[in-house]
Amino acid sequence: MTSQNDQPENSGGLPFGTSFIDLMALKRLNSPSTTPDAPEKVERLQSLARPYPPANGGMAFGGHVYAQSAYAASRPSTKGHDGLIHSTGRLDVPYVYTVRHIRDGGMYCTRAVDARQNGKICFSCLCSFKRAEGLQTFHHQPAPAQERFRSLLAGKEPEYHLPCPSLDADWWIEQVQRGDIAEPEFPGLDGSPQDSDVALSKQEIEARDNTGDFDNLYVCAHIMAIEVVNLTEADIPEAIDVIQRAFADDPYFKWVFNPAKFNKQRNYGSLEARCRWGIDNAIFQVARETPSPGTRDANDSPSRVLGVSCWLPPHPAAEPESWYSRAQSWLLSFRQFVNNMRHMGRGGLNTRRYWIWKDRQWEAQSQIWDDPRGYYFCNIVAVSPEAQGKGIGKKLFEAVTDRADEEGVKCYLESSKNVPNVEIYRRMGFEMAKAMECRDGEDVCMLYCMVRIPKSKR
């Protein structure tokens, strides 16, 4: 006879996972005892969330059990993870994972995993885990994906790739594009940002990390832990480096600067003045990579800056500018003047084109900005080239657009790239308002003005 804890729960109403941690969550069940004929240790774990259904269908996504089996295998303790799906997964029955310890060696440990629903095996796999290698010239691990697939990725940044549909079929894609059906999102790989206006307490995070429950979640997907926080003076050097590298090939940047006279040091000083002004007068934020508990080192810096954003808060049209705001603008202008004097010029900035842009911008905003409450104005969003395509830009956007939704305020941006940026911004709720032409003789720079209507919170 088995105890109550040996029986998997099967209420027929599994909850939806709203985060990746929830989606991959497991609970431990009682495990069978070893015998002389079967001395291997066996552990049993049960899934807690409803699997993701592609295209809102009635079957579970095969990648769910594939990823969760690796997580189940890692909990008792990848170089290898070979799995076989025996039958389609159901959405109303939890997975029960049986993890058998095959070998615990000095370099490798191997686990055999069976995933069952209602006692029937629907997936099985072998997982091999390898100890981390020290510093040495010979490595067993394969080269990073960016190097192995360089020929396929060359010339195309990650953000230029369209998102993968939940069902790779023409009829499904066409209906999504027409708006007839909504594309379901895979839960969890997109997180909600912490409100950076509230002081962050590390105690709860450290307590959770010390439990070790989430140490091996990286085996389920390529996950990068990111936090979006307000810019500090210590962040400024890294933030400027991200901005300069991200905008090196920007069409507006190339149009407004003379490349033969461009002075990177002068540009650094200008951006530094802008950052210092933005700490107190704008929503200036950075996206930092948070190291996982297993990779932290006492000598390591807390994190590195991978993305930067600067938004100007809404200003009601009927309210005059405050004396404080005017004083801060004068201070910024004075710092820029000192920077120009130090570097004997504007570092290649074409002032004629700069003022052409300012005139066209004023005309466009006069036509578009019709909300008396004002707009959240996206002034800068930059992600370091090596971190692009990983959702960092989206997190920087959502840190402000979520606030705009709560306040019922519109957002505004100007993009210097039509493809792919306009489509990316559309997926975040922005719509085209005006194509702005900045012309200097035969040289033209196009900017695309977009507005986002706040979404109601249900």
Q: Tell me the CATH number at 51.
A: 3.10.129.10
316 & 437 share domain: yes
Residue 263: inside a domain, yes or no?
yes
Domain assignment present for residue 396? The answer is yes
By three-state DSSP, how is residue 405 classified?
A: helix
Q: From 83, 94, 129, 130, select the one nearest 10 (Cα to Cα).
A: 94
Q: Is 26 exposed, middle or buried, given 0-12, 13-18 or 19+ CB atoms closer than 10 A?
A: buried
Structure tokens at 173: 């894609």
Total domains in the fold of the chain: 2
Which residue, 99, 117, 132, sits at the end of a domain?
132
Verify that 325 and 432 share a domain, yes or no: yes
Rounded CA gap, 334 and 237, in Å?
21
Of 262, 252, 266, residue with least CA distance to 436: 252
CATH of the domain at 332: 3.40.630.30
Indicate whether 228 and 104 sit together in one domain: no
Per-residue confidence (pLDDT) for residue 450, from 0 to 100:
98
Q: Domain range for residue 394?
A: 224-292+301-452
Q: Please indicate, yes or no, whether residues 235 and 361 belong to a single structural domain of this protein.
A: yes
143 in a structural domain: no
Question: Hunting for tokens 């069978």 — which residue is that?
Answer: 32
Q: Indicate whether 201 belongs to any domain.
A: no
Residue stretches of the chain with pLDDT short of 70: 1-13, 17-18, 34-40, 55-57, 62, 75-88, 132-146, 148-164, 166-169, 185-224, 291-302, 457-458
Q: Strand ranges (DSSP E) for 281-354?
A: 283-289, 304-312
In a domain, 164, yes or no: no
Q: CA dihedral defined by 328, 330, 332, 333, rounded to 10 degrees? A: 170
Asked whether residue 365 falls in the same domain as residue 234, the answer is: yes
Q: Are strands 283-289 and 304-312 parallel, antiparallel or unpaired?
A: antiparallel
Q: What is the separation, in whole angstroms, between the first and last Cα of the chain?
A: 48
What is the C-alpha separation between 99 and 31, in angstroms, rounded? 10
Q: Considering the domain boundaries, does residue 177 fall inside one?
A: no
Q: Of 76, 107, 132, which closes a domain? A: 132
Could you tell me if 258 and 386 lie in one domain? yes
Q: Check if the beta carbon of residue 20 is closer than 8 Å to that of residue 220.
A: yes
Look at residues 190, 272, 283 and name the one whose alpha carbon lies nearest to residue 231: 283
Q: pLDDT value at position 84?
A: 46
For tokens 């206006």, name the residue.
197
Compute the distance between CA of residue 173 and CA of residue 35 in angstroms, rounded to an integer.
53
Residues 126 and 228 placed together within one structural domain of the fold? no
Shared-domain flag, residues 128 and 229: no
Of 66, 97, 132, which one is at a domain's C-terminal end? 132
* Pairing mode of beta strands 80-85, 26-29: unpaired
Q: Are residues 248 and 357 in the same domain?
A: yes
Question: Count of H helices and E strands in the chain?
Answer: 13, 13
3-class SS at 277? helix
Structure confidence at residue 53 (pLDDT): 77
111 and 245 co-located in one domain = no
Q: Which one, of 437, 434, 425, lies nearest residue 356 by Cα?
A: 437
User: Do residue 249 and residue 389 come from a single domain?
Assistant: yes
In a domain, residue 181? The reply is: no
**141 domain residue, yes or no:** no
Same domain flag for 371 and 247: yes
